[in-house]
Structure 1
């Protein structure tokens, strides 16, 4: 029994972390109902995460060197965060998440131009499969051209593009700034999400701020979310350090299952046949990308010992060549 726990706990840790990410949209909607917009909640919780990392790993600050890649990474993380949070609050959760998960297509494109990686037939095929899934999900005879139907879906799509760009820039940063500790990249991601969301909140219509008991509830929710996400990040990193990358990224797809169930239970959202068909294509492309790239030979590079790029949907959550990890930049 003890042996089973030792071997299974890392997998369970990743599944638990994916479950938290799959349900995080619900407390964000609760905050929005109390008068705290998603952008404001995102700025507060991301800022708390950045501060937590800087306090706990303050000795790593001396490894930071200025480079244009750092603000670029912060911007990409901010777009990722805001796209997912705003889209999941204001749109149909499952459709927004599936559009967010089109990362195989965008990662292949960005890696070709930024990392100068050759676009293989396998990579192009996976990108085409994920895009075909999106077209299946979005197309209808009444709407015509298969494009996102509202701002929330466009936000999810933009967030997925930011997610893919973050993946590529993290690997680029690990190569250009090899002495910079991974936790400082984590702080950059959280800090970028906090700043971008704070700026975005200035352009969002603010509801009446919470007062009285609602203010206390909102404050507790924000603090609870910050603590939950920080703890969840550490839990997931424990699992990622002990599970092979290709297997971990497939386990992470459990988030989509949890999101579908939570959206059905708490929001009454039931995906139709087109959503299911398109979702299967997108999830299949993400899963296959892990399998296709698991044997891709990467030349030894001391500057990239602590980074790995996977064209799948979860590469921004782990950076564990050599056992090092990076968290998902969200809320």
Structure 2
């Protein structure tokens, strides 16, 4: 009985993490309603998460060494987080999320050129399935070409591409800097999201900054979101280190279920038949990708998380020497 319970906790940890990521768009919209733009919300919540990780895991700071991969990882993590947050605030949440989940298609390409991984027929077929799902979801006779129809959807698409690049860079970082603790990669991701969001906020006007009692409410929300995302990252890392990567990737898709439910309850967003059909193709491609890239016998099966939203839905790409799989930066979110 105790053994069964111990085996259940890691799965529940991953499901709870996916649930948090599936609901975080709502408090971000609350911040937007208080007067904080998407870029400012991204910067502040990510900064709070980075600070929390550095305080809790301060003993791991000494393992950090300078390498060009760290600013590159921070940059793409920042684009990932900002694109997802901005898209979720200003667009239809489910469409933004599904465009984000085109990650398997982009990962196959980036891993081929950066990591020199051979692009297999199965990988190409899964990438094609993801893109076909996106085209099905986006096409309509009125709009013509199946491309994102709003800036929010373009933001979600860009975030997914950057997320794939982040996953590839995380793997390369774990190879080139094997002594750097996983928590510090998480801090780099949060820090990159904070810096990039702060820079982007200069180009987005804030219509009505929080005033009076709203200031305190906004501060509490920012700290709460940052604390929740950082804690959530550590919780997911616990689960990913104890669950086979291919199984964990499928559990991560629970986020889409939670997002669909919360978008319906809180925003009145109900996907139509085309959205369901296209989304099914994208989700199926993500699930099959985790099976195709499953760990071979004898390989480490865990995974490490990347705080913001680095949960790597495309399978077993990022194995490191600790057997930990990278999870996502979206502070991701």
Q: After TM superposition, is the score higher than 0.5?
A: yes
1:122 equivalent in structure 2:
122
1:323 Cα deviation after fit: 3.8
Find the aligned partners of 2:118 and 2:317 in 1 and give their Cα distance: 24
When normalised by structure 2's length, the TM-score is 0.91
Find the aligned partners of 2:199 and 2:217 in 1 and give their Cα distance: 24
Contact preservation (8 Å) 2:82, 2:197: yes
1:327 Cα deviation after fit: 4.0
- The answer on 1:324 being equivalent to 2:310 is no
Find the aligned partners of 2:116 and 2:178 in 1 and give their Cα distance: 19
In structure 2, list runs of 5 or more residues that go unmatched: none
1:126 Cα deviation after fit: 0.3
- The answer on 1:283 being equivalent to 2:283 is yes
1:265 equivalent in structure 2:
265
Contact preservation (8 Å) 1:28, 1:89: yes
1:113 equivalent in structure 2:
113
1:66 equivalent in structure 2:
66
Equivalences, count: 326
Question: What RMSD in Å do the two structures reach over aligned CA positions?
Answer: 2.5
2:159 equivalent in structure 1:
159
The 5-angstrom pairing of residues 1-331 of structure 1 reads: 2-295=2-295, 313=313, 322-331=322-331
1:314 Cα deviation after fit: 5.6
Find the aligned partners of 1:55 and 1:147 in 2 and give their Cα distance: 43
Contact preservation (8 Å) 2:104, 2:126: yes
1:317 Cα deviation after fit: 11
Contact preservation (8 Å) 2:19, 2:255: yes
1:36 Cα deviation after fit: 1.4
Q: 1:136 to 1:298 in 2, by over 3 A?
A: farther
Find the aligned partners of 2:53 and 2:243 in 1 and give their Cα distance: 23
In structure 1, list runs of 5 or more residues that go unmatched: none
1:19 Cα deviation after fit: 0.6
Q: 1:314 to 1:105 in 2, by over 3 A?
A: closer
1:86 Cα deviation after fit: 0.2
Find the aligned partners of 1:13 and 1:299 in 2 and give their Cα distance: 22
1:52 Cα deviation after fit: 2.1
Contact preservation (8 Å) 1:138, 1:147: yes
Contact preservation (8 Å) 1:249, 1:315: yes
1:298 Cα deviation after fit: 10
SS at match of 1:322: coil
SS at match of 2:70: helix
1:117 Cα deviation after fit: 0.5
1:116 Cα deviation after fit: 0.5
SS at match of 1:146: coil
Find the aligned partners of 2:122 and 2:318 in 1 and give their Cα distance: 22
1:3 Cα deviation after fit: 4.1
